[in-house]
Amino acid sequence: MEIQGKIKLVSETQTFGNNGFRKREIVITTDEQYPQHIMIEFVQDKTDLLNAYQVGQTVKISINLRGREWTNPQGEVKYFNSIQGWRIENLQTEQSGGTIPPVPPIEAFEPANDLNEEEHDDLPF
């Protein structure tokens, strides 16, 4: 699955337990009639994928939905879902240096009033 949106937050990498489990979260805001703020977690070596991204960038993230069951100390069974990212792409196009500059409005140009077509006829035919 994929989700697109603008980055609202990129958290720092968190490390848990003796095994060094790493997790990093990103929040993106979707661009739809009712925008949603979706938190996606990247784990282990995937946390480094977020280093190149900043708040405000528009991205597409490939995700997996994860679910787990947990029994609390009172014996009640609870279920939790998470959204786990495994790839992220920048959707903003970079402006290259070879782009054509915008054309000024016509009011910025002076009219050419001193043209005499008979004197300036240098066409070869």
- Residue 95 counted as domain residue: no
E-strand spans in the chain?
2-10, 14-16, 21-29, 37-43, 58-71, 77-90
Q: Which domain holds residue 35?
A: 2-90
Q: What is the pLDDT of residue 17?
A: 87
- Which candidate, 59, 79, 58, places its Cα nearest to that of 68? 79
Neighbours of 31 (CB within 10 A): 11
Do the beta carbons of residue 65 and residue 2 sit within 8 Å? no
Q: What is the pLDDT of residue 98?
A: 52
Identify the band that residue 104 occupies on the pLDDT scale cut at 50, 70 and 90: low
Q: What is the pLDDT of residue 25?
A: 96
C-alpha 3/C-alpha 39 separation (Å) is: 11
Q: Which CATH number is 31's domain given? A: 2.40.50.140
* pLDDT of 79 higher than 70: yes
pTM (two decimals):
0.68
- Residue 19 counted as domain residue: yes
- Residue 52 counted as domain residue: yes
Domain count, the chain: 1
pLDDT tens per residue across span 36-64: 999 999 999 999 999 999 999 999 999 99
- Residue 115 counted as domain residue: no
Do the beta carbons of residue 51 and residue 22 sit within 8 Å? no
Do the beta carbons of residue 40 and residue 47 sit within 8 Å? no
